[in-house]
C-alpha cells in the first residue's frame, strides 16, 4: 500500500513515498527533496554466496542525463560507465552502511540509486544517501539501522545545513557526516584550511541534525518496515577456534605477527596456515572456513596486543610514525616529481603542466561544474604489494584515493589568473603497507612545488587508527596505521592539511560509530603528526615552490584583447591564427571574453607570437614606428606586412633620403624593415616611410 511521509529539512521539504514504485525490491524509497527525485532500492539474494569471506555489498549511483534535460554525448547517445562523481557517491553511501550489516552475513546485497530529476537547490547525492538508508531500514534485509546523513557548509564563519549549489560554490567547507542514534559513523570533508576546533563543531552540528532525520526514519519504519529475514550464518565455529589454539598457542601467533616487515609476517602466517591445513585435512567443513578462522585469530591477537599490552606489531609506540623520507627531481625531463616514503608505503608523484584548454571537460548532472583544471590520479599496481595480476585500469578504490588527494590539495592551488595552467599529478604506488592516499598528498605537494606551481602552503596527510574494547571508554587511538592495523582495527581516520588547518578528512570505520572524545583525539593526533611531517621531513627537501616552471614545462603568456577583434586574430577559416602557430610553434587559446593564452617551450617564440597578436589588435596610427616584412614590390614602391592582413606602402620617394632609381636597390621581398607611419587615409590605406630623417625625428620626439 502506497504511503507518503514528509519532513522539513534545512528549509526544504523531504518526502518519502513507500509502495509507490519498485514493489518487488526488498525495500524501495521514492525520494523527493525539493524537485530532486531519486529512487533508492535495496535488494538481497536468498542465499549466501559460496566461497567468500566478506560481505558482498554493491552500491550504485546512476546518473541519468534526462534528469537535467540533456541528451548524452557520444555516438550511442546513452549513458556509459559510471562517472567519477557517481563512483565517489557510491563509496560515500557504502562506508557508513557497511558496518551496520551483520558481520557473518554473506548474501549479496545491492543498493541502487536512480537519479530521475535534479533541483540545483537539493543535492541528488545527498538525497541518495538518505534514500539508501531508508530503503534498507524498511526492507527485510538484516540491518542495524537507522543511520542518517547531513552535509554542512560554512560561509562567513556560519554553518549551513545541506547547502544549495550556489552556497557550495562559495563555502569554505564541504562536510558530510553520517550518524547512528548515538555515534558518528562516517566523515568526509574538503575544506579551505579550516581549524580543527571549527571542524569538530561542524561535525557535531551535523550529528545533531542527523538525530532529527533518524526520528523521521523511525516513523517510516514503524508503519512500513518489514520483518527482518533470517539468514544462514557464516561465522567460524567456536570449536574450530579452540582446536586452532591447541595447535598454535597465543604466544606463537603473537611472535608471528610481531614484525615490521610485511613479507616476513605473511610468511609466518602462511607457515601456520599450512600446519593447520595438515591437521584438519580430514575435516572439509573446517577447511572451508580455515582462512577466515586464521584471519580472526590474527585479528584478536593484534587487538589484544595493542589494547591490553600497548604493543604494536612493528614495535612502534602508540603515537610513533614509521621512518619517513622525502625526495624531489628523481625523474628527469618531467615537469615536476616527488617521492614520499613512510615505512613500507612509498608514492612517486609526477606533475604535468599544460594550457588551460587541456582541463578535463565534465559531462554530468552538476551544471555548475563543466570542467576540472586540477586532476589527481592514483594508481595501485599489484607489484606494490608483492602480488602478480594484470592491470585492468583504475577501480573504485583507485578513483576514491585519487579524489581524496585531489580534494586535499585544491584549497592551496593558485588561481587561474595567478597561474594559467591545467595541472595533473599522478601518484604511482611503488610500495604499499597502509595509508597510500595520505602519502599521495605529501608526494603531490613535493611534486607541485618542484614543478614551480605557486601553491599557497604545503599540505601533508596522515592516518590514525583505533582499537576498541568492550566499553566506550576502552580504546586506543594509533598514529600512522600500517596495513595490518587497518585490517584488524576499527578505524581509518585520514586527515590532510596545512599548518593553518584541515583541507580533507575521510573516516572509515568497522564498528557502530565513534564518540566525541575519540574523534577529538584522532583529529588532535593527526595535526601533531602532520606538522611534524611538514616541518621535519618535507621542508628540508623543498621549503617553497620554485620561482619558475622547469625547462621542459610549457611557458604561458597571457594577454587580453578586445573581444570584438578576436575574429581578426583568428582570420577567415583560421588562416591568421594558424599562420602564427606555424611561424612560432606555440599553442594559442582564445576565450570569448578576449583572454588569450600563448603556450610554448621557447620563450622567444612565445614573445614573437604575442607581438604578432598585439600588432593585429592594435590600431595603426600616424607617427608609430613599426617593424614589418616586405611582401610585394612595385615600380612605385614596396608593400610591407605590418601584421597579418595589415599592409602599408612605402613610396619609392620615402625609401631613402637620397634619390632612389629602383626599389630593389633599397629593399627586396622578405626583408625585415623598420618604418614610420606617415598617414592612414580615409580608405584605411597606410602610407609608410623608411627615410632615416623621419625615423630619427620620431625617435627624437620620444
337's CB contacts (< 8 A; 6+ apart) are 328, 329, 330, 331, 348, 349, 350, 351, 447, 450
Mean pLDDT of the 461-476 span: 92
Q: Copy the grid coordinates of residue 654.
A: 620615402
Per-residue three-class SS string for 356-415: HHHCEECCCCCCCCCEECEEEEEECCHHHHCCCCCCCCCCHHHHHHHHHHHHHHHHHCCC
Q: Copy the grid coordinates of residue 375.
A: 586532476
Instruction: State whether residue 484 is helix, strand or coil.
Output: helix
Buried b (16+ CB within 10 A) or exposed e, 128-149: bbbbbbbbbbbbebbbebbbbb
Instruction: State yes or no: pLDDT of 702 exceeds 60.
Output: no
Instruction: State whether residue 208 is helix, strand or coil.
Output: helix
pLDDT digits (tens, 9 = 90+) for 329-353: 999 999 999 999 999 999 999 999 9
Q: pLDDT value at position 701? A: 56
Is there a contact between 65 and 124 (Cβ–Cβ < 8 Å)? no
Q: In the structure, what pLDDT confidence band is assigned to residue 32 with cuts at 50, 70 and 90?
A: very high
Q: pLDDT value at position 167? A: 94
Instruction: State yes or no: pLDDT of 74 exceeds 90.
Output: no
CA 256, chain centre distance (Å) = 38
Mean pLDDT of the 110-131 span: 96
Q: pLDDT value at position 371? A: 85
More confident residue, 358 or 208: 208
How are strands ordered across the β-sheet holding 587-590? Answer: 555-560, 595-600, 587-590
Instruction: State whether residue 109 is helix, strand or coil.
Output: strand
Mean pLDDT of the 215-242 span: 92
Instruction: Give the whole-angstrom CA distance, residue 314 versus residue 452.
Output: 38
Instruction: State yes or no: pLDDT of 25 exceeds 70.
Output: yes
Q: Mean pLDDT, the chain, as a whole number? A: 92
Instruction: State yes or no: pLDDT of 53 exceeds 90.
Output: no
Mean pLDDT of the 666-687 span: 91
CA distances (Å), origin 217, targets 41, 110, 127, 205, 221: 15, 20, 14, 19, 6
Q: pLDDT value at position 698? A: 55
Percent of the chain with pLDDT over 90: 67
Q: Copy the grid coordinates of residue 134.
A: 531508508
Is there a contact between 410 and 423 (Cβ–Cβ < 8 Å)? no
Name residue, grid cell 620620444: 702
461's CB contacts (< 8 A; 6+ apart) are 405, 408, 435, 437, 438, 439, 440, 441, 442, 494, 495, 496, 497, 504, 530
Q: In the structure, what pLDDT confidence band is assigned to residue 618 with cuts at 50, 70 and 90?
A: confident
- Nearest of 649, 620, 619 to residue 637 by alpha carbon: 649
pLDDT digits (tens, 9 = 90+) for 523-565: 999 999 999 999 999 999 999 999 999 889 999 988 999 999 8
Is there a contact between 335 and 451 (Cβ–Cβ < 8 Å)? yes
More confident residue, 259 or 467: 467
Instruction: State yes or no: pLDDT of 366 exceeds 80.
Output: no
Instruction: Give the whole-angstrom CA distance, residue 384 versus residue 392.
Output: 15
Kindly state the DSSP code that residue 537 receives in the 8-state scheme.
Answer: I
Q: How many other CB atoms sit within 10 Å of the CB of residue 118?
A: 26
Q: In the structure, what pLDDT confidence band is assigned to residue 116 with cuts at 50, 70 and 90?
A: very high
Q: In the structure, what pLDDT confidence band is assigned to residue 644 with cuts at 50, 70 and 90?
A: confident
pLDDT digits (tens, 9 = 90+) for 570-603: 988 898 999 999 989 999 989 888 889 899 988 8
Q: How many other CB atoms sit within 10 Å of the CB of residue 675?
A: 26
Q: pLDDT value at position 40? A: 98
> If you average pLDDT over each of 217-231, 379-393, 648-662, which comes out highest?
217-231
Is there a contact between 409 and 351 (Cβ–Cβ < 8 Å)? no
**H/E element, 539:** none
Q: pLDDT value at position 367? A: 67
Instruction: State yes or no: pLDDT of 309 exceeds 90.
Output: no
Instruction: State yes or no: pLDDT of 700 exceeds 70.
Output: no
**Measured over all CA atoms, what is the biggest interatomic distance in the chain, rounded to whole angstroms?**
117
Q: Copy the grid coordinates of residue 294.
A: 586464521
Instruction: State yes or no: pLDDT of 213 exceeds 70.
Output: yes
Exposure on the CB side of residue 389, measured as CA atoms within 13 A = 8
Q: pLDDT value at position 105? A: 94
Amino acid at each position: 500500500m502506497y504511503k507518503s511521509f514528509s519532513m522539513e529539512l534545512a528549509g526544504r521539504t523531504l518526502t518519502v513515498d513507500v509502495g509507490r514504485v519498485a514493489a518487488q525490491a526488498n525495500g524501495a524509497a521514492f525520494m523527493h527533496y525539493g524537485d530532486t527525485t531519486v529512487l533508492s532500492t535495496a535488494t538481497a539474494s536468498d542465499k549466501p554466496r559460496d566461497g567468500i569471506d566478506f560481505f558482498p555489498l554493491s552500491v550504485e549511483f546512476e546518473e541519468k542525463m534526462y534528469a537535467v534535460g540533456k541528451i548524452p554525448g557520444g555516438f550511442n547517445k546513452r549513458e556509459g560507465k559510471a562517472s567519477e562523481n557517481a563512483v565517489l557517491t557510491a563509496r560515500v553511501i557504502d562506508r557508513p552502511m557497511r558496518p551496520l550489516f551483520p558481520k557473518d552475513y554473506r548474501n549479496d546485497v545491492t543498493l541502487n540509486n536512480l537519479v530521475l530529476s535534479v533541483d540545483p537547490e537539493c543535492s541528488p547525492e545527498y538525497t541518495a544517501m538518505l534514500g539508501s538508508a531508508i530503503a534498507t531500514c524498511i526492507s527485510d534485509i538484516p540491518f542495524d539501522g537507522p543511520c542518517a546523513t547531513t552535509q554542512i557548509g560554512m560561509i562567513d564563519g556560519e554553518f549551513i545545513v545541506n547547502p544549495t549549489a550556489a552556497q557550495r560554490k562559495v563555502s569554505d567547507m564541504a562536510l558530510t557526516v553520517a550518524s547512528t542514534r548515538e555515534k558518528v559513523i562516517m566523515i568526509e570533508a574538503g575544506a579551505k584550511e579550516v581549524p580543527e576546533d571549527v571542524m569538530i563543531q561542524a561535525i557535531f552540528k551535523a550529528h545533531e541534525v542527523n538525530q532529527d532525520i533518524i526520528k523521521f526514519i523511525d516513523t517510516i519504519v514503524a508503519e512500513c518496515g518489514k520483518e527482518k529475514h533470517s539468514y544462514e550464518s557464516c561465522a567460524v565455529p567456536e570449536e574450530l577456534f579452540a582446536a586452532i589454539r591447541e595447535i598454535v598457542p597465543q604466544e606463537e601467533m603473537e611472535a608471528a605477527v610481531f614484525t615490521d616487515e610485511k613479507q616476513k609476517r605473511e610468511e609466518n602466517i602462511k607457515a601456520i596456515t599450512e600446519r593447520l591445513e595438515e591437521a584438519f585435512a580430514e575435516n572439509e567443513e573446517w577447511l572451508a572456513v580455515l582462512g577466515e578462522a586464521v584471519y580472526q585469530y590474527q585479528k584478536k591477537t593484534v587487538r589484544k596486543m595493542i589494547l591490553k599490552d600497548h604493543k604494536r606489531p612493528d614495535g612502534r609506540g602508540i603515537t610513533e610514525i614509521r621512518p619517513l623520507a622525502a625526495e624531489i627531481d628523481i625523474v628527469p625531463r618531467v615537469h615536476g616529481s616527488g617521492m614520499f616514503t613512510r615505512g613500507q608505503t612509498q608514492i612517486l608523484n609526477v606533475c604535468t603542466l599544460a594550457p588551460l584548454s587541456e582541463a578535463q571537460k565534465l559531462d554530468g548532472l552538476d551544471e555548475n561544474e563543466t570542467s576540472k583544471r586540477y586532476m589527481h590520479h592514483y594508481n595501485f599496481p599489484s607489484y606494490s604489494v608483492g602480488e602478480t595480476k594484470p592491470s585492468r585500469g583504475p577501480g573504485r578504490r583507485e578513483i576514491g584515493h585519487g579524489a581524496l588527494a585531489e580534494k586535499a590539495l585544491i584549497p592551496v592551488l593558485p588561481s587561474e589568473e595567478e597561474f594559467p595552467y591545467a595541472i595533473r599529478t599522478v601518484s604511482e604506488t611503488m610500495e604499499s603497507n597502509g595509508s597510500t592516499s595520505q602519502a599521495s598528498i605529501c608526494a603531490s605537494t613535493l611534486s607541485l612545488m618542484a614543478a614551480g606551481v605557486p601553491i599557497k602552503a604545503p599540505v601533508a596527510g596522515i592516518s590514525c587508527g583505533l582499537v576498541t574494547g568492550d566499553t566506550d571508554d576502552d580504546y586506543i587511538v594509533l598514529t600512522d596505521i600500517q596495513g595490518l592495523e587497518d585490517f584488524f582495527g576499527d578505524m581509518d581516520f585520514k586527515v590532510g592539511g596545512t599548518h593553518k588547518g584541515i583541507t580533507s578528512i575521510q573516516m572509515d570505520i568497522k564498528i557502530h560509530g565513534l564518540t566525541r572524545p575519540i574523534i577529538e583525539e584522532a583529529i588532535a593526533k593527526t595535526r601533531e603528526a602532520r606538522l611534524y611531517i611538514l616541518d621535519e621531513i618535507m621542508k628540508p627537501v623543498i621549503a617553497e615552490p620554485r620561482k619558475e616552471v622547469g625547462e621542459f614545462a610549457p611557458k604561458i603568456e597571457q594577454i587580453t584583447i578586445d573581444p570584438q577583434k578576436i575574429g581578426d586574430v583568428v582570420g577567415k577559416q583560421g588562416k591568421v591564427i594558424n599562420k602564427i602557430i606555424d611561424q612560432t610553434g606555440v599553442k594559442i587559446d582564445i576565450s570569448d571574453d578576449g583572454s588569450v593564452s600563448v603556450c610554448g617551450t621557447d620563450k622567444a617564440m612565445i614573445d614573437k607570437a604575442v607581438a604578432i597578436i598585439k600588432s593585429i589588435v592594435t590600431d595603426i596610427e600616424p607617427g608609430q614606428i613599426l617593424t614589418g616584412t616586405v611582401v610585394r614590390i612595385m615600380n612605385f614602391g614596396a608593400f610591407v606586412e605590418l601584421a597579418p592582413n595589415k599592409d602599408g606602402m612605402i613610396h619609392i620617394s620615402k625609401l631613402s633620403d637620397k634619390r632612389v632609381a629602383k626599389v630593389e636597390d633599397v629593399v627586396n621581398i622578405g626583408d625585415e624593415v623598420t618604418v614610420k607611419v606617415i598617414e592612414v587615409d580615409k580608405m584605411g590605406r597606410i602610407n609608410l616611410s623608411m627615410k632615416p630623417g623621419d625615423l630619427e625625428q620620431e625617435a627624437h620626439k620620444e
